[in-house]
Structure 1
């Protein structure tokens, strides 16, 4: 196999596979998992419970991690 083809394989593995598996597949799995959890809460405990869980998750993801935890790690 020519050297240039080996070099292209390195870039393919590092970029295309990571984009396909990490970006799309992992995002899909996380989205399905958060949806299942909120759906289960709605089914078992009611709408208010699902709303509170979603609100709590958003506080952690959009406020605590970027504005409180991340500056401490830098």
Structure 2
């Protein structure tokens, strides 16, 4: 009976260690995915800001909204708000 108890106890300890390791790997993967998503969002944000800056300059040069939209990829509504 003591052998069965010790075997069960060893099994449970092994399960706990395995779950702990799996949890840690999952957290690492989540952080890695989060960083990649943050980098991607940051790049998109930078591109959008750059497009707005270009659009403002083109608007100051009296270029029409349709041409600015074509050049920057911004919508005409976004350009009119500038």
Q: Does 1:31 align with 2:48?
A: yes
For the aligned residues, what is the CA RMSD?
Answer: 2.3
Contact 2:55 2:68 in 1 (8 A): yes
TM-score normalised by the chain length of structure 1: 0.53
Spell out structure 1 runs of 4+ moving beyond 4 A.
none
Q: Which runs of 5+ in 2 are unaligned?
A: 1-19, 74-82
Bigger relative CO (Cα 8 Å, ≥ 6 apart): 2
Name the larger-Rg structure. 2
**Greater helix content:** 1
Q: Which runs of 5+ in 1 are unaligned?
A: 59-74
The count of residues paired between Structure 1 and Structure 2 equals: 54
TM-score normalised by the chain length of structure 2: 0.49
